[in-house]
Amino acid sequence: MTRKAKKAGRFALLLSLLLCLSACSTAPQEPPAPEEKLISVGFSQVGTESDWRVANTASMESALSAENGYRLDLRYAQQKQEQQIVDLYKFINQGVDYIVLAPTTERGWETILSRVRDSGIPVIIVDRMIEIEDESLFTCWVGSDFRQEGKTAVEWMEKTFADQPLNIIHLQGNIGSSAQIGRTEGLDEGLKAHDNWTLAFRQSGDFTQAKGQELVEEVIEKGLLDRSGNTINVIYSENDNMSYGAIDALKKAGLTPGKDVYIISFDAASTALRLVLKGEIAYDVECNPLHGPRVKNLIEQLKEGKTPPKYTYVEETAFSQDNLTEELISTRGY
């Protein structure tokens, strides 16, 4: 054998040894990256209009966190249904595992939810409801009984003001949302049942503090508060943030909330409950925003092949100075 041939032989041996080594050392199949195992959830949120909404978003983010095994795609809609429809199409294209929808308004969901159903993605509705004939267009719902909230407020007004005449200023939420519809219905029933309850003003403040303030400034300017001294002025404000705005407007005009005007509010966020303690809000009906763990629980049931209840109502209460302490407020979580 020539030197050249010997060298080539050694080289071939080395090569086959290396090949064998690399084949033998093939590592066992790596487990998929943790990212791939996360459950993906597309969450279409109404917006950031109120303390309630901020607490609701925080609750969803902490329950559907990566540590808990979720990848949450959160999209805000600035209280616009059109934006929510766009976002739902995006979730279909992404092929998320679940869609969670906090609907702005009750109507107008048929087309987009039919598309979602065709894609096979389960839809969990949270907070407000949708009005839809074909209930198979969503999987389940969890939220509040807004009609009951309205009733609770009116029952308190009946008990507290007895037969005295009321002059009512009504600040409504986002028109067409379940929270607005139910709370307004409660007041309407009260107005029907009491001849001496007068509706002096009714307009939507879109659940925002700025709008609430604007509307009450308008009410004061137009002289719609009763100054006769024989009638009780009540502001029925469909959420806490509008109540904050109402308080600012009253104070700016030299009026004292809790003395010149009684404010009935909804949500019972901690800032508002401290105003109840101060006497500036007379009564606050609770609306619980901590839906994150509830939604997580529904997803877990679906994942296990179970059928969760179609509707889950959250238990709620209401607060006045009679049943409230600072200690209670600080333990409530929102």
Binding site for ligand GYE (CB under 6 A): 49-50, 52-53, 127-128, 144, 179, 207, 239, 266-267, 287
What are the start-end ranges of the H helices in 222-287?
240-252, 270-278
Nearer of residues 170 and 231 to ligand GYE, judged by Cβ: 170
Residue 106 Cβ vs ligand GYE, minimum distance, rounded to whole Å: 11
Nearer of residues 260 and 316 to ligand GYE, judged by Cβ: 316
What would the two tokens of residue 149 be?
A: 């909230």
Nearer of residues 40 and 83 to ligand GYE, judged by Cβ: 83
Residue 239 Cβ vs ligand GYE, minimum distance, rounded to whole Å: 4
Residue 267 Cβ vs ligand GYE, minimum distance, rounded to whole Å: 5
Q: How far is CA 15 from CA 5, 6, 18, 20, 23, in A?
A: 15, 14, 5, 9, 12
Residue 110 Cβ vs ligand GYE, minimum distance, rounded to whole Å: 21
Residue 139 Cβ vs ligand GYE, minimum distance, rounded to whole Å: 20
Residue from 41, 19, 32, 25 nearest 295 by CA: 41
C-alpha–C-alpha distance, residues 151 and 131, integer Å: 21
Nearer of residues 233 and 239 to ligand GYE, judged by Cβ: 239
Tell me the DSSP string of 291-311: -HHHHHHHHHHHHTT----SE
Nearer of residues 207 and 283 to ligand GYE, judged by Cβ: 207
Residue 198 Cβ vs ligand GYE, minimum distance, rounded to whole Å: 25
Residue from 245, 333, 320 nearest 288 by CA: 333
Residue from 236, 254, 260 nearest 180 by CA: 236
Torsions phi, psi for 15 (to 5 deg): -60, -45
Contact 291, 56 (CB under 8 A): yes
Residue 265 Cβ vs ligand GYE, minimum distance, rounded to whole Å: 10
Nearer of residues 97 and 267 to ligand GYE, judged by Cβ: 267
Nearer of residues 179 and 281 to ligand GYE, judged by Cβ: 179
Q: Could you report how far apart the first and last alpha carbons of the chain are, in Å? A: 88
Nearer of residues 46 and 299 to ligand GYE, judged by Cβ: 46
Residues comprising the chain, all counted? 334
Residue 127 Cβ vs ligand GYE, minimum distance, rounded to whole Å: 5
Residue 104 Cβ vs ligand GYE, minimum distance, rounded to whole Å: 9
Which residues lie closer than 8 Å to 191 by C-beta, 6 or more apart? 168, 197, 199
Three-state DSSP class for 318? strand
Nearer of residues 231 and 265 to ligand GYE, judged by Cβ: 265
Q: How far is CA 317 from the centre of its chain?
A: 18
Which residues lie closer than 8 Å to 296 by C-beta, 6 or more apart? 63, 64, 68, 70
